[in-house]
Structure 1
Amino acid sequence: MSLACGIQLPVQSQSTVYAEPWEAAAGPEDLVAVARAADLAGFDYVACCDHVAVPRRLAAAMSTVWYDPVATLAYLAARTERVRLLSHVAVVGLRHPLVTAKQYATLDHLSGGRLVLGVGAGHVREEFEALGVDFGRRGAVLDECLDALRAALGPEEFPEHHGKLHDFRGLGQRPRPAQPLVPVWVGGSSPAAVRRAALKGDGWLPQGDPRERLPGQVERIKRLRGEAGLAGRPFTVGAITEPLYVGRPAWDVGRRTLAGPPGALAESLRAYRAMGVDQVQVRFRCRSRSELTDQIAAFGADVAPRL
């Protein structure tokens, strides 16, 4: 089985952990150009992140640039043709599940069934407090939101859910998603997040796990799903690769970057498949939009076919 590849989009989130200097002055057309390049290169998905607001204490590291994922993915859906649209990740506990379902069902409907709903618990206390959500119970909130979203994104026009936090029935929502089942991938690498992904998700999105930690996480997911009687159901295991550069860079791309000819990159990335990973999320080192789109094209033409 081949290894699918997706890309976390630049520009729409600009944490100092990964943003390149050119992104600070970039805008919508740069974002579109990158998404279209990924679409043309055969990438499986494009992804964007979610933060409603960033507190001053974290702004220097995280920045305050975080485009809304629903608006951004809808904008890009209209400018692309086949690439899937992933929220990586939506902090769904910040919003009522009926609101979240309405937004993402509409996105799936308008895009012709290209949505992958990636969800996570969140980590910014002030964000929760400002929106009136209990930060200390965010894991439990996410668990119930997942159950509520399963109901609200299903085929029923009048979904029904009865939980401790949310209770709804007899309220119609249209349009319905184009997909019979919207895939839900759960993000996070804590023991609670991995368990949540295994038992409640259709896939797992790790958060910064190095390669050497992945086999243990994958084995735990398999064990949890087997014990719950879920082993035979489809499940997508993801990974985030090291920063990449296709070819021999003429500038300092950093010691952690995986750089070299296509064959060498492909050989290194194939190791993820051997660990039980189904899809990898990549990000390329680049000094400009044009260098990034060139990297995406080169990866699609010369690396991805070898995976």
Structure 2
Amino acid sequence: MVVYGMQLPVQSQSTVFAECWEAAAGPDDLLAIARTADRAGFAYIAVCDHVAIPQRLAGAMSTVWYDPVATLSFLAAATERVRLLSHVAVVGLRHPLVTAKQYATLDHLSGGRLVLGVGAGHVREEFEALGADFASRGALLDETIDALRVALGPEEFPSFAGKRFAFEGLGQRPRPVQARVPVWVGGSSPAAVRRAALKGDGWLPQGDPRDRLPRQIARLRTLREKAGVEDPLVVGAITEPLYVGRAGWDTGRRTLTGEPEVLAESLREYGAMGVDQIQVRFRSRSRSELTDQMAAFAAEVAPRLGCEG
């Protein structure tokens, strides 16, 4: 069964994916979209993580990046069942105990709905400003994941000793509701795929086209098999932009448009190649058009995919 979720608009506004209407949007729009996802059966809503954007990148990335923990906590109070995903948290920017405190509290407040998506990060100035090691960010992320597994576990006084971080005898409550907080690893580089295979409960690819995904999925499974990892891995994919029905406006060359069965036929390819969850995204000119698209997808397309939220 394929699960579907979405990254929220408004909270990050890179020119790569933001729609024009998002520039004037705010908290009320986020609430309406999150509530629609909750009602429409989406498995998760996701937010991004950047602390500060350097001027050299601001033109393309913008400086609009809501804090993921604050945003997901805000939306947790307005929703009931939809899971809350950081896609992705650049956890190497912060000490693991700080991250654990934030996300354990989020899991506690939301009744156990957190999915912790993590990634290595790519903005050098961000690391330098916060005193984190950009050049060794891959190794930093590896150790941080290990530390977070302990710090987000059941123990009130977790103990960890690594090359960069060490802690013991320091208690943190509240503990997460979940006995094991799912950690989904983001990235499509060879190192990121290996990290997802060996350390993750899920994989969040970044921009892999359809024809590349089968090779990546095969590598994930081979790496896990060789390492003797038997736990299931949630394999993700980000779909092309979607528009359910006939738009009547230019939705872009890559956008999948058409009647529900046409979209379903195309999207079924993801499940056939071994994908467990698809992250869908919709072209829209307003909040209302987006929420209409979300509802139409859940009601008319997802049942044809064998999807569930």
- Offset of residue 63 of structure 1: 0.3
1:196 alignment counterpart? 195
CA-to-aligned-CA distance 1:204-239 (integer Å, 9 cap, x gap) = 000000000000000000000000001x31210000
Q: Does 1:261 align with 2:256?
A: no
1:242 alignment counterpart? 240
CA distance in 2, matches of 1:178, 1:260: 41
1:157 alignment counterpart? 156
CA distance in 1, matches of 2:232, 2:101: 25
1:125 alignment counterpart? 124
- The answer on whether the counterparts of 1:3 and 1:270 sit within 8 Å (CA) in structure 2 is no
Please, what TM-score do these two structures have when normalized by structure 1?
0.99
- Offset of residue 3 of structure 1: 1.1
- Offset of residue 306 of structure 1: 1.3
1:285 alignment counterpart? 283
Letter in 2 for 1:284: F
Gaps of 5+ in 1: none
CA distance in 1, matches of 2:2, 2:46: 17
Alignment of 1:139-150 (within 5 A): 139-150=138-149
- Offset of residue 177 of structure 1: 0.3
* Residue aligned with 1:136, SS: coil
- The answer on whether the counterparts of 1:92 and 1:145 sit within 8 Å (CA) in structure 2 is yes
Aligned residues: 305
Segments of 4+ moved more than 3 angstroms: none
Letter in 2 for 1:286: S
CA-to-aligned-CA distance 1:20-69 (integer Å, 9 cap, x gap) = 00000000000010111111110000000000000000000000000000
* Residue aligned with 1:35, SS: helix
CA distance in 1, matches of 2:272, 2:159: 41
1:25 alignment counterpart? 24
CA-to-aligned-CA distance 1:280-300 (integer Å, 9 cap, x gap) = 001100000000000000001
Please, what TM-score do these two structures have when normalized by structure 2?
0.98
- The answer on whether the counterparts of 1:244 and 1:284 sit within 8 Å (CA) in structure 2 is yes
Gaps of 5+ in 2: none
CA distance in 1, matches of 2:277, 2:8: 16
* Residue aligned with 2:45, SS: strand
2:44 alignment counterpart? 45
CA distance in 2, matches of 1:233, 1:264: 35
- Offset of residue 193 of structure 1: 0.3
* Residue aligned with 2:75, SS: helix
Letter in 1 for 2:261: G
CA-to-aligned-CA distance 1:98-125 (integer Å, 9 cap, x gap) = 0000000000000000000000000000
1:233 alignment counterpart? 231
Counting aligned pairs with the same residue, the percent is 78
2:179 alignment counterpart? 180
1:114 alignment counterpart? 113
- The answer on whether the counterparts of 1:53 and 1:127 sit within 8 Å (CA) in structure 2 is yes
